[in-house]
Amino acid sequence: MSTRFARAIAHALLRRIGSGSLTVLEDRRPPTTFGVGAPHAIVHVRSPRAWRKLLRGSNGLAEAYAQELWDSPDPTAVVRVAARNADALDRLRARFAPLLVPAQRARTLTSANTRRRRRRDIAAHYDLGNELFELMLDPTMSYSCALFERTGMSLQEASVAKLERVCGRLDLRPDDHLLEIGSGWGALALHAARTRGARVTTTTISREQHAHTSAQVQRAGLQDRVTVLLEDYRDLRGRYDKLASIEMIEAVGWRHFGTFFDCCSRLLAPDGAMLLQAITIDERAYDVEKASRSFMNTYIFPNGCLPSLGVIEREVQRRTDMRVAHLQDITPHYVQTLRHWRASFECNAQRLAALGYDERFQRLWRLYLAYCEAGFAERRIGDVQLLLTKPRWSATAATDLANVA
């Protein structure tokens, strides 16, 4: 495809912007603005080669940005404009979705969710180096949505508030044994043991996370309260009073959401409860997105998939005896969380470069953080906390729940 033809197609698509506006600046061409009003974004096309890339969807957008074929003073604004106008594209893609089913099935057969493959996919993101995450996250090393409960809270304070919320929702007590699926860097396990006196078993399949969390447990002198495993959730055994999984379900894969909830229910005591924090996608976009190749599940979270809230509820009903006892939408807090992460990432650009994270990597991650912030800001994606309870979960806990903010 010629550059001229690609530019013409791209301009035709941009003329369909119905909410927000985008100004395109390109050498030796007058500025062109598409759409009207806020949010307003500016794109500098640095090379004509960008136009052919941009017609390849989010993967092409990311590749072109990583190669510096286009730039923007505010990539988040660019993605916000795109998200504002995604509905029309979703409807068009949905019409052709049935045609993609054979390809989706073939891709599933060639990329089975084996334990080895899952470890490799997790390592591709979470084993990039603990130094990277230390420079981006707050001292708790929480890599999930924080809760900014009052104006002026620091990211660390908001992360601790989220950990408190999780423990409070679960009514976590000293005689409880908490299972955490997806350790992260140990923030919840350490907090639950320190503040509630609970026993905690936490598991991850990231070797970097396992090493960091194990070292933190040793440093805190909590070896008698916290056990850190390097095991796939499907291989876990035993029975636990409470279970927490914080933004881990996105790595499970769309064909295995039912298996995940089945395992969680099997591991919980008859009077147990589970706190699930999940990044979700709009139900209307789920069927198209679930097996598509996108920037996020190609370059950032290989083979990841966001569930919809409807899918979560259906799989819980179909595969478990749990029910949804409480649901809270915390999406607005993720916009603030990501702004903090992005600011820290930008502030530490030189240190990251010295550690070997080159310009291409940093541009991809800059776009990743902007992509997520825009998605949450425009409600293209959301973040929820669900309390899932077993049949014999106590009425006392239900009463106490009403008192948790």
Position 180 pLDDT exceeds 90: yes
12: containing domain: 3-84
Q: Classify residue 89: in a domain, yes or no.
A: no
Q: Where are the strands (E) in 18-66, listed by range?
A: 20-26, 29-36, 40-45
Q: Classify residue 338: in a domain, yes or no.
A: yes
Closest C-alpha among 369, 376, 306, 296 to residue 335: 376
**pLDDT score for 287:** 87
- Indicate whether 278 and 361 sit together in one domain: yes
**pLDDT score for 245:** 98
Q: Classify residue 122: in a domain, yes or no.
A: yes
- Indicate whether 62 and 129 sit together in one domain: no
What is the pTM for the complete model shown? 0.92
Domain endpoint, select from 84, 103, 123 = 84
Contact yes or no for 283/380 (Cβ under 8 A):
no
Task: Average the pLDDT over each of 53-62, 301-310, 320-329, 394-403 and give the range with the smallest value.
Answer: 394-403
Model pLDDT for residues 333-385, shown as the tens digit of each residue: 999 999 999 999 999 999 999 999 999 999 999 999 999 999 999 999 999 99
**pLDDT score for 106:** 56
| 347 noted as active-site residue | no
- Indicate whether 45 and 188 sit together in one domain: no
What does the pLDDT average to over 49-70? 95
**pLDDT score for 277:** 98
Contact yes or no for 377/84 (Cβ under 8 A):
no
Confidence of residue 67 (pLDDT cuts 50, 70, 90): very high
**pLDDT score for 399:** 47
Task: Average the pLDDT over each of 53-62, 66-75, 112-121 and give the range with the smallest value.
Answer: 112-121
Q: What is the CB neighbour count within 10 angstroms for residue 47?
A: 15
Model pLDDT for residues 80-96, shown as the tens digit of each residue: 999 999 876 665 555 54
Position 97 pLDDT exceeds 60: no
Confidence of residue 1 (pLDDT cuts 50, 70, 90): confident
- Indicate whether 303 and 159 sit together in one domain: yes
Residue whose pair of structure tokens reads 């590749």 in the numeric block: 63
Q: Classify residue 295: in a domain, yes or no.
A: yes
Position 292 pLDDT exceeds 80: yes
Q: Tell me the pLDDT of the chain averaged across its residues.
A: 92
**pLDDT score for 96:** 46
**Residue partners of 368: CB distance under 8 A and separation at least 6:** 295, 296, 299, 300
- Indicate whether 269 and 123 sit together in one domain: yes
- Indicate whether 189 and 297 sit together in one domain: yes
CATH number, domain containing residue 250:
3.40.50.150
Domain endpoint, select from 84, 106, 140 = 84
Residue whose pair of structure tokens reads 């990597």 in the numeric block: 361
Position 400 pLDDT exceeds 80: no
Percent of the chain with pLDDT over 90: 86
Q: Classify residue 387: in a domain, yes or no.
A: yes
Position 217 pLDDT exceeds 80: yes
Q: Classify residue 342: in a domain, yes or no.
A: yes
Model pLDDT for residues 278-291, shown as the tens digit of each residue: 999 999 889 888 87
**pLDDT score for 99:** 47
- Indicate whether 124 and 58 sit together in one domain: no
- Indicate whether 187 and 45 sit together in one domain: no
Q: Classify residue 99: in a domain, yes or no.
A: no
Burial of residue 176 (CB within 10 Å: 0-12, 13-18, 19+) is buried
Task: Average the pLDDT over each of 87-91, 204-208, 325-329 and give the range with the smallest value.
Answer: 87-91
What does the pLDDT average to over 42-50? 97
Total tally of structural domains belonging to the chain: 2
**pLDDT score for 284:** 85
Query: How far apart are the C-alpha atoms of 164 and 148, rounded to whole Å?
Result: 12
- Indicate whether 192 and 130 sit together in one domain: yes
**pLDDT score for 224:** 97
- Indicate whether 57 and 127 sit together in one domain: no
- Indicate whether 218 and 302 sit together in one domain: yes
Torsion angle (degrees, nearest 10) of CA 57, 62, 68, 71: 80
What does the pLDDT average to over 152-174? 98
- Indicate whether 13 and 132 sit together in one domain: no
Q: Classify residue 97: in a domain, yes or no.
A: no
